Structure 1
Amino acid sequence: MQLETYISDLLYRYECVTIPEFGSFLTQSVSATIDDSSNAFYPPKKMLSFNEQIQKNDGLLAHYISDVEQISFENANQKIAKRVAVLKSNLALGETITFKNIGELVFNTEGKIMFEPSYQINYLTDAFGLSQFVSPAITRETYVEQVEAIEKVVPLTITKEKRKNRSYLKYAAVAVVALTISGFIGSNFYANEIEQHNQMAQQEATKQLDNKIQQATFSLNPLPAAKLTVTKQTGNYHIVAGAFRVEENCDTKVAELKALGYSARKIGVNKYGLHQVVYASYEDRLDALKALRTIKKEQNKEAWLLVQALD
């Protein structure tokens, strides 16, 4: 009996899953965190822990096994008891018990069970599709420009007699002013020419576009209306295939699953803004669990069951 598979399924929906006469796996939701030392981003998740003091049979695990394997509640409890006996025996021999996707259990020097959780699966369904990633630190470089201004001041002394011989300076100053004015007028004229050219080009482009639209206009004979029969899916049990930030990827996934024969569809956006795609929806919980086990085995190990009433 794959006990860890049943426990893993229940951890998505419950905060405590008890193995009678052995202990309980507990979950606690934690917010997203950032490790400043490694620049790693960790999405929100359920933190796993184990408490061997909680051993009273609450019936949750046995009822789930009974539903999945189609056996009686008593037979399910007997199977659990046999597995617990083997687990305790292995721990007493110093072995490490590994529950896939959950963690490892081992006795410490004091004979107490120590638990090391696995970080391969995030059991918080609201964070489905979010994964850990490392973002490199942003470094900013400052470029300092050093400008050395060297001004050489050469005094110019003009005597009264020399000023008579250098009257050309006056005309040079007038010429500089004239060139400045003419350059300003010329630049304005050039800018106006560019503006007129742009307007004419835009008008011509608009005219050509109108002509092409008129030439492309044609009439179509009305086609007979096609009648399609669409079967609307119902049910509150949905097998989730994935969640996507970009809706185009969501549509691509739906098309791929439909090509494989599934009744795939989109069921909306969760509170993290991710578009969710499901293999199918079911009215009956047992039918959904059977389909989930088949999909996990043959198609997608990361598929999970969402219990939610859709609008």
Structure 2
Amino acid sequence: MKVILIKAIFVLMTLANYINDLLYRYDCVIVPNFGGFVTNKIGATVNTTTHTFYPPKKQLTFNAYLQHNDGLLANYIASSKNISFEEAITFINEEVAQWNEKLATTTITVDSVGSLSLNEAKQVVFEPNPSSNFLTESFGLAEVSTPSVERVKKVIVKSPPTFTEESNKTIPLYLKRAAAAAVFVGIVYVGWNGVQNEQQVLANQEDAVEKKIQSATFVIDKPLPTINLNVSKEARNFHIIAGAFKEVHNAENKLEELEEKGHEASIVGKNRLGLTQVAFASYATKDEARKALEIIKETVSEDAWLLAK
């Protein structure tokens, strides 16, 4: 029994690692018959309470309605494990069944992506991992905390001593004027010195923040799997057509509809009749496109067909 349980956990983490890898390269990763992990790029932020600066990142959410298989996860698993597309689909379906079984009683963790659980309405609730940043542009940038800047307290200058009528009579006039001038100069000096001290404190705080930002490093406690990124863009000349439209705005509406459903849709130009063609997805090889076409015909549209350009 222990062996079976350990094996199940290992496979679960394996599927989670595939999802983790793809989120660095794509904005949406769909787990067929389960849901999709969707990212949205946000800029740098600052927490004014803790005085902490956070670098830009991909904000991660989960959409339980994105369950259609777009082929992205299956193709990546098939390529990584050196198995067929159909075997990859079987592998995903088995793991999704385990996920659903575990969710009925406990919370599951999807590698460094986050955790999934069920609420009282039996809906999947996703909690992203706050320490993960899938934005490759922010690689090497870490959050930076700075001390708060405190203002210099106001300097209270005591008023000069008062003189009685008797003392006024005995103190010469030039001494009175000299004493008043000395008091005035002292007030100006203390006030100016306080301003300089406040400016110096602010300058020191800014220098400390700059040094911390310059010396910030990105420490990885658990190294991620190596991702091979191709510099040259792979040509995708095989398109699975969803429809052809006479009016361009109808084609754009169809494109938006497919993108909302999780497809990597695109407009692939006009045909010889002048109709604007919209594709579910495009592929680099004919073999990939045929496999994806079979799935789309079975699950989405029987009218889909393959176009090679």
Secondary structure of 1:7's partner?
Answer: helix
- Alignment match, 2:284: none
Task: Give the Å deviation of 1:125.
Answer: 0.6
Contact 2:21 2:225 in 1 (8 A): no
Cα distance in 1 for residues equivalent to 2:171 and 2:223: 88
Residue 301 of structure 1: how far off its partner (Å): 3.5
The sequence identity of aligned pairs, in percent, is: 37
Alignment of structure 1 residues 202-281 onto 2, 5 Å: none
Q: Is 2:207 the partner of 1:301? A: no
Aligned to 2:157: 146
- Does 147-156 or 31-40 show the bigger shift? 147-156
Residues in 2 aligned to 1:15 and 1:114: alpha-carbon distance in whole angstroms: 20
For residues 37-95 of structure 1, give each alpha carbon's deviation from its aligned partner in whole angstroms, at most 9, with x where no partner exists.
22221211101111111100000001101111111111111111111111111112x21
Q: Does 1:87 align with 2:99?
A: yes
| Corresponding residue number in structure 2 for 1:37 | 49
Gaps of 5+ in 1: 158-244, 250-273, 276-295
Corresponding letter in the other structure for 2:81: E
The TM-score with structure 2 as length reference comes to 0.50
Correspondence 1:104 to 2:27: no
Change (3 A) 1:309 1:148: farther
Shift of 1:147: 5.6
SS in 1 for 2:224: coil
User: How many angstroms does 1:309 deviate by?
Assistant: 5.4
1:116 Cα offset (Å): 0.6
Residues 303 and 39 of structure 1: CA distance in aligned 2, closer, same or farther (over 3 Å): farther
Deviation at 1:120, TM superposition (A): 2.2
- 1:101 and 1:119 in contact (8 A); partners too: no
The alignment status of 1:25 with 2:37, answered yes or no, reads yes
Structure 1 residue aligned with 2:260: none
For residues 55 and 29 of structure 2, the distance between their equivalents in structure 1, rounded to whole angstroms, comes to: 23
**Equivalent position SS for 1:301:** coil
> Cα gap change, 1:307/1:125 in structure 2, threshold over 3 Å: closer, same or farther?
farther
1:211: which partner in 2? none
Q: Distance in 2 between matches of 1:87 and 1:129?
A: 33
Secondary structure class of the residue paired with 1:144: coil
Q: How does 1:61-210 map to 2 (within 5 A)?
A: 61-92=73-104, 94-144=105-155, 146=157, 148-149=159-160
> Structure 2 regions of 5+ residues with no counterpart?
1-10, 174-212, 234-309
Distance, in Å, in 2 between the alignment partners of 1:104 and 1:119 is 11
Q: Is the 8 A contact 1:32 1:41 kept in 2?
A: yes
Partner of 2:210: none
- For residues 211-270 of structure 1, give each alpha carbon's deviation from its aligned partner in whole angstroms, at most 9, with x where no partner exists: xxxxxxxxxxxxxxxxxxxxxxxxxxxxxxxxxx87xx9xxxxxxxxxxxxxxxxxxxxx
* Larger Cα-atom Rg: 1
Task: For residue 148 of structure 1, report the CA deviation from its aligned partner.
Answer: 4.6
Measured on the aligned residues, the alpha-carbon RMSD in Å equals 3.2
SS at match of 1:131: coil
Deviation, 1:149, is 4.7
CA displacement at 1:25 relative to structure 2: 0.5
Task: Determine helix, strand or coil for the equivalent of 1:14.
Answer: coil
CA gap 1:113/1:87 in 2 versus in 1, 3 angstroms? same
Q: Distance in 2 between matches of 1:138 and 1:303?
A: 42
How far the C-alpha of 1:133 sits from its partner, in A, is 2.6
- Higher RCO (Cα < 8 Å, 6 or more apart): 2
State the SS of the aligned residue for 1:98: strand
Shift of 1:308: 3.8
Specify whether residues 156 and 25 from structure 1 end up closer, same or farther in structure 2 by C-alpha distance, changes over 3 A only: closer
TM-score relative to the length of structure 1: 0.50
Q: 1:123 to 1:142 in 2, by over 3 A?
A: same
Separation in 2, partners of 1:14, 1:87: 23
Instruction: Quickly say closer, same or farther: Cα 1:101–1:124, change in 2 above 3 A.
Output: same
Equivalent residue in structure 1 for 2:20, among 4, 8, 29: 8
